[in-house]
């Protein structure tokens, strides 16, 4: 599985605010400004004590890594968001969880855990799929949260990679030491970005 590539840039022109106060901006300019503001709001995210910067987006997939991990051929931690604005009800979200699980199996991954949360008046059922994925010279541990969010559905993938000799053993050791915390923090995270914010991020060319 290759989920991850690189493209990082975000621009904001404060002078536009001055121009807007002098004369009304065309509808297209206003939309551009709104999109830029939305993208700027999620260009950097904080999760579980680590800052993640936007690196690459294409269509509905958006990838973030820590500041020092700019090379997406050798990243170690990554957050990936996959937006589904057209899906929202529980059947849709459950199906996405099943698709995620089956995809991991199809590429030779080992499913570590599947789970779902109990619905509450303020929160619909959410799903978790955890897996260990094999690569040519790496092993990747993924925790995937699938939830109704911001009028659609959002798949959030927290991934940890280990490279080189003994990578499978290193991944297993990391999982034993950190897996429970990673899963708990991901499922409890209240700072998920909005779908429109993610969709406004710069797209890879």
Per-residue pLDDT tens listing for the chain (205 residues): 444 432 322 222 221 222 233 334 455 565 556 556 655 668 999 999 999 999 999 999 999 999 999 999 999 999 999 999 999 899 999 999 999 999 999 999 999 999 999 999 988 999 999 999 999 899 999 999 999 999 999 999 999 999 999 999 999 999 999 999 999 999 999 999 999 999 999 999 8
Q: Which residues contact 200 (CB under 8 A, 6 or more apart)?
A: 34, 35, 36, 38, 39
Residue 10 lies in a domain: no
What is the C-alpha separation between 42 and 64, in angstroms, rounded? 10
Residue 102 lies in a domain: yes
Residue 7 lies in a domain: no
Tokens of 81: 């968001």
Where in the sequence is the domain holding 127, given as residue range(s)?
Answer: 15-199
Residue 116 lies in a domain: yes
Residue 1 lies in a domain: no
CATH number at residue 24: 3.40.1000.10
Residue 93 lies in a domain: yes
- For the chain, the domain total comes to 1
Residue 204 lies in a domain: no
How many other CB atoms are found less than 10 A from the CB of residue 74?
A: 10
Distances (CA, A) of 160 to 80, 117, 123: 11, 23, 27
């Amino acid at each position: 599985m290759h989920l991850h590539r690189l493209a990082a840039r975000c621009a904001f022109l404060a002078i536009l605010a001055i121009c807007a106060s002098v004369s009304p901006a065309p509808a297209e300019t206003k939309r551009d400004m709104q999109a830029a503001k939305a993208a700027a709001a999620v260009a950097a995210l904080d999760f579980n004590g680590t800052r993640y910067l936007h690196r690459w987006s294409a269509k509905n997939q958006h990838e973030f890594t820590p500041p020092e991990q700019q090379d997406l051929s050798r990243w170690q931690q990554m957050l990936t968001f996959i937006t589904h604005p057209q899906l929202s009800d529980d059947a849709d979200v459950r199906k996405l969880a099943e698709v995620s699980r089956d995809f991991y199996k199809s590429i030779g991954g080992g499913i570590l855990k599947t789970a779902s949360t109990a619905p509450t008046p303020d929160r619909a059922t959410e799903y978790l799929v955890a897996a260990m994925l094999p690569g040519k010279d790496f092993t990747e541990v993924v925790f995937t949260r699938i939830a109704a969010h911001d009028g659609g559905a959002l798949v959030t993938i927290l991934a940890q990679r280990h490279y080189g000799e003994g990578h499978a053993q290193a991944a297993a050791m990391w999982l034993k030491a950190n897996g429970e915390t990673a899963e708990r923090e991901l499922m409890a995270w209240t700072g998920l970005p909005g779908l429109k914010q993610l969709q406004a991020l710069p797209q890879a060319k």
